[in-house]
Amino acid sequence: MKQVLLFASIFILYSFKSGAQQTCEVKLKDIQGVYTGDCKDDKANGKGKSVGTDEYEGEFKDGYPEGKGMYTWKDGHYFVGFFKKGNKDGKGDMYYESSKGDDSVITGFWKKDKYVGEYEQKYIVQSTTSHISKVDCHYIDGKTRNITIEVHMVSNSNNINNIGSIAAISDIATITGTFYTRQTQIMANRSITYIKDVTYPFRALFTLNTGDIAEVIFNETGEYSVAINLL
Written as one string, the DSSP assignment of 73-90 is -TTS-EEEEEEETTEEEE
CA pair distance 207, 216, nearest whole angstrom: 11
The confidence band for 162, taking pLDDT boundaries of 50, 70 and 90, is very low
Higher model confidence: residue 165 or residue 17?
A: 165
Please report whether residue 171 resides in a domain: yes
Establish if 69 belongs to a structural domain: yes
pLDDT at 117 over 50: yes
Regarding whether 143 and 108 lie in a shared domain, the answer is no
Residues 111-129 have a mean pLDDT of 93
8 found inside a domain:
no
The domain boundary, picked from 117, 152, 178, lies at 117
Residue where a domain terminates, one of 52, 84, 117? 117
Domain, as residue range, for 189? 123-230
128 and 68 in a common domain: no
The strand order across the sheet containing 169-178 reads: 123-128, 213-218, 199-208, 169-178
| One domain, residues 133 and 222 | yes
In a domain? residue 186: yes
Provide the whole-model pTM: 0.67
Question: Could you give the number of structural domains in the chain?
Answer: 2
92 lies in the same domain as 42: yes
Residues 128 and 223 in one domain: yes
Which CATH number is 81's domain given? 2.20.110
Give percent of the chain with pLDDT exceeding 90. 74
